[in-house]
Amino acid sequence: MLDTFMVEEQLSWEKCVSVCTDGAAAVTGHRRGVVTRIKAANPKIAATHCMLHRQALASKSVPPDLHNVLEVVVAAVNFVKSRSLKSRLFAKLCTEMGAAHDRLLFHSEVRWLSRGKVLERVFELRRELHEFLKEHKPDLELFFSDQQWMAKLAYLADIFSCLNGLNLSIQGCYSTILEASDKINAFRRKIDLWVHKLQRGITDMFPNLSEFLDTNGMGVDFMLNTITSHLISLNEHFSHYFPDTDMEKYDWVRDPFSCDMIASGLSGKAEDELLELSSDCTLRMRFNQQGPAEFWPTAE
């Protein structure tokens, strides 16, 4: 189908530089995968693994005790959403209790980071959900009566909110791999900082958790090891899916008008072309107006 499209649109595989995939076996398989077939048409094509998909995979590292919290949340949401009558009763209860929202969000296993919004909504409606489950599902209500369990829920709502924010920040038609790499590296550095702050008893980087602990007169010590191990594991997974790369050699892409030619690592011919481009005042003005993502496809 893809090759048919290329032929119909009179597009040549020789002009294809790279193909980005989600890493699925059907796409990247050694013998029959799509990438293998594309490379048969043009062996020079580079294949990369989608950064959004890699970030989602890296985010799936959750220790057992926190994963149990996730399972209870999903069970509670599915219980409320499974019947329209339960959903209406829950919505009515939320309205009576003055909640800002009157419905829960479904979790999708396909999109792991959808849990971030689910967790945020469940934590926000925790009191309403607690009252509803007390009457309709007592075995699940017990969890919402446990302050330590609720603190773990607060942390999960916070950390998945951070992961969702990272995911959104590297999306968009003008987002480049260089900018995305910068944001991934910044997030990994944040994780290191959070671990150090937690060891000093500071939780302000996790607003839901911090407020919950303060409101209930609780310290973070009882879950310090759980959070710390999760953050360290999260960082390790990010390191696995996003190995360190010397991005400075691509500074000429970020700004061709002020980069170090010698450090660019380009061939002699490419250096000459870059030198000519960087000496063009008209192109410089266009670059300043557009930025790299818009500038390079039209640069001549």
Write down the domain spans for the chain.
2-49, 58-241, 248-298
Asked if residue 88 has pLDDT above 60, the reply is: no
pLDDT band per the 50, 70, 90 thresholds, residue 283? very high
Which tens digit of pLDDT belongs to each residue from 59-86?
777 889 999 998 898 888 878 766 654 5
133 vs 8, more confident: 133
**What percentage of the chain reaches a pLDDT higher than 70?**
83
Q: What is the CA radius of gyration of the chain?
A: 25
DSSP 19-53: EEE---HHHH-TTT-HHHHHHHH-TT-EEEE-HHH
**What percentage of the chain reaches a pLDDT higher than 90?**
34
pLDDT band per the 50, 70, 90 thresholds, residue 27? low
Three-state secondary structure call for residue 18: strand
Asked if residue 147 has pLDDT above 90, the reply is: yes
pLDDT band per the 50, 70, 90 thresholds, residue 160? very high
Residues, the chain = 300
Average pLDDT over residues 232-253: 85
**How much is the pLDDT for 32?**
62
Q: Which of 97, 75, 79, 96 is nearest to 87 (CA)?
A: 79
**How much is the pLDDT for 97?**
44
**How much is the pLDDT for 79?**
82
Are 76 and 137 contacting, i.e. CB atoms less than 8 angstroms apart? yes
Average pLDDT over residues 242-265: 79
**How much is the pLDDT for 195?**
97
Residues 88-111: b if buried by 16+ CB within 10 A, e if exposed: eebbebbeeeebeebebbebeeee
111 vs 37, more confident: 37
Asked if residue 122 has pLDDT above 50, the reply is: yes
Residues 4-34: b if buried by 16+ CB within 10 A, e if exposed: eebeeeeeebeeeeebebebeeebeeeeebb
Average pLDDT over residues 85-95: 52
Determine which of 13-22, 60-69, 162-171 has the lowest per-residue pLDDT on average.
13-22
**How much is the pLDDT for 157?**
94
Average pLDDT, the chain: 82
Asked if residue 233 has pLDDT above 90, the reply is: yes
Asked if residue 130 has pLDDT above 80, the reply is: yes
pTM comes to 0.79
**How much is the pLDDT for 132?**
83
**How much is the pLDDT for 263?**
62
Asked if residue 125 has pLDDT above 60, the reply is: yes
